[in-house]
Chain A
Amino acid sequence: MDDMTLVDRFHAAYDVAPPAGGFERLRRELSSYSAARRRRPASHIRWNKMGLRLAAVVTVAVIAIALVAAYLAGQRLLVGGVPAGSSSSIAAYQALVVADHGAWTAATSNCQTLQAQACVAELAPDRAILAKWRNDVGSSPTPQRFAVINAQMKRHLDDLIQMFDTAIAAEGTGNQALYDKVAYYATLDSAWLGHAVQGISRSHLSTASQYTALVQAHHADFVSICSSFCPQDAAVADCAAIDDPLCPHDIITESDFIGVIQADFVETASPAEFSDQNSALQIDLAQADNALVAMSNALLHSDAAGLKAARASYADALVAVEADLQS
């Protein structure tokens, strides 16, 4: 079998045109993704080991926030008691979350295969970092502004810790397939946490016009992405059946979309006159987020009924979010 024969056989076996409209679908995805992310093109923080540059940036940010916290704490001693949700408690919370997230991103393993022993050995220490983070956000005072996102953070951390437990169990039994599956779904939690921490660390009180502009921008995104908004049968359309191979990708993409909105509304904290609307919106976004986590868990455990129920919850939550953004 010479080279020319091989070329002929490969072309005979594999020649297939890309599906019609394939590139256009990709272009639309990329365009809508950039619209949804607006001003947030930063990379996702997933299982990859972070570079020294990012570690340095995180370290500088942690030091800066710690200095601000220390300064405000000093001021507190000078002027007496500070009400709950004050700038000092906000800065302390931000410093805590940024430090925990920094530890996680600096340490996350790059495990791709269970055959790599050095990489497998990193799983337990990484889990310990997550457990510390979970303990910190569960036991430290949470400023009112971060109440909803903090609850969601605990949820994602719990989910991610569970993923680690499953991954460690897969390691014990040499189950590479289960390990791969867990590693894939863990990206949902990992990416969400990255968005949330970014929103928390940049959080600032907005003016009424800034807040209104953000609501209008996200409503426009919703309209363009969901075409008027997502009806029941269109939400994560590829998840109508549990064995649809596109469903995992849909869930990860949707989670990213919702995570960015959640982070934006934490970053641009609402002024007092919009606090009721903002609370309703954050709670409905949390419902959508919870539904997506439930969907990924249903896929992980091949739970068709669970997937169906979670998908219905997600569609309901989208209706509520769209209404919040319209009001």
Chain B
Amino acid sequence: MIFRRDEAELIRDAKKGDGAAFAELIRPHYDTAFRLAYGLLHDTNEAEDAVQEAAFKAWRRLGNLQEGAGMRPWFLGIVANHCRDVSRSRWWSVLKIDPPEKEASPVDIAASIDLRRAMRRLSHDERLVLVLRYYLDMPFEEIATTQGISVRAARSRVERAVHRLRPIVQVQGAAV
């Protein structure tokens, strides 16, 4: 993929220190980045903060983005890495469960809490591939690009993570 002219101009301006230009570059990916951060951190405030921090990191590293590389997987990779650091460093960590957006039945809410709890028992990398695949609905090709791995390795990681998730969800589901 070749940079569109306007994107190339924005990148040039952002590299010169224009923050507004960089904001325009990530505007199309903001919602996805937020959902990714939320899927990994389980807290809306922390997710917004993480995307913001990741945006500053990405801006500083913009010189590393190679021409032809997609902005979205590159930025999402930085968001994912930042969320890994946040998970390690959040000393205020507690189990936070934001209320679901829409009206949900008690059974649905229990299932949601069950899944979130199960996710917390997985490693960061396992959570990441599950969120990319089943929450952000990414094809294996894009998961691979985001993580800098082969498509085959991406598929294998997803399968392993599902294999680890299943029994936890089923056991907890039975207990609810």
Interface residues of A (CB under 8 A from B): 1, 3, 6-7, 9-19, 22-23, 25-27, 29-35, 37-41, 43-44, 112-113, 176-177, 180-181, 183-184, 243, 245-246, 249
Given the known A-B contacts A9-B111, A18-B30, are A31 and B88 also in contact in the complex, defined by CB atoms under 8 Å?
Answer: no
- CA A183 – CA B88 in complex, angstroms? 11
B112 at the interface (CB under 8 A from A): yes
B166 at the interface (CB under 8 A from A): yes
B100 touches A12 (CB 8 A): yes
B20 touches A13 (CB 8 A): no
Question: Of residues B23, B104, B162, which shows the largest number of chain A Cβ atoms within 10 Å of its Cβ?
Answer: B23
Q: Which residues of A contact B55 (CB under 8 A)?
A: 26, 30
B17 touches A30 (CB 8 A): no
Q: Which residues of B contact A181 (CB under 8 A)?
A: 89, 91
Tally chain B residues at the interface, Cβ within 8 Å: 55
Q: Which residues of A contact B80 (CB under 8 A)?
A: none
B101 at the interface (CB under 8 A from A): yes
Q: Which residues of A contact B108 (CB under 8 A)?
A: 12
Given the known A-B contacts A16-B44, A180-B91, A245-B46, are A7 and B134 also in contact in the complex, defined by CB atoms under 8 Å?
Answer: yes
- CA A11 – CA B130 in complex, angstroms? 12
Closest 9 CB pairs of A and B: A41-B17, A30-B19, A34-B19, A180-B89, A13-B112, A27-B23, A10-B134, A18-B34, A10-B135
- CA A176 – CA B85 in complex, angstroms? 12
Given the known A-B contacts A11-B135, A13-B116, A15-B100, are A34 and B20 also in contact in the complex, defined by CB atoms under 8 Å?
Answer: yes
Query: Which of A6, A13, A39, A246 contacts B162, CB < 8 Å?
Result: A6
B5 at the interface (CB under 8 A from A): no
- CA A13 – CA B112 in complex, angstroms? 4
A14 touches B35 (CB 8 A): yes
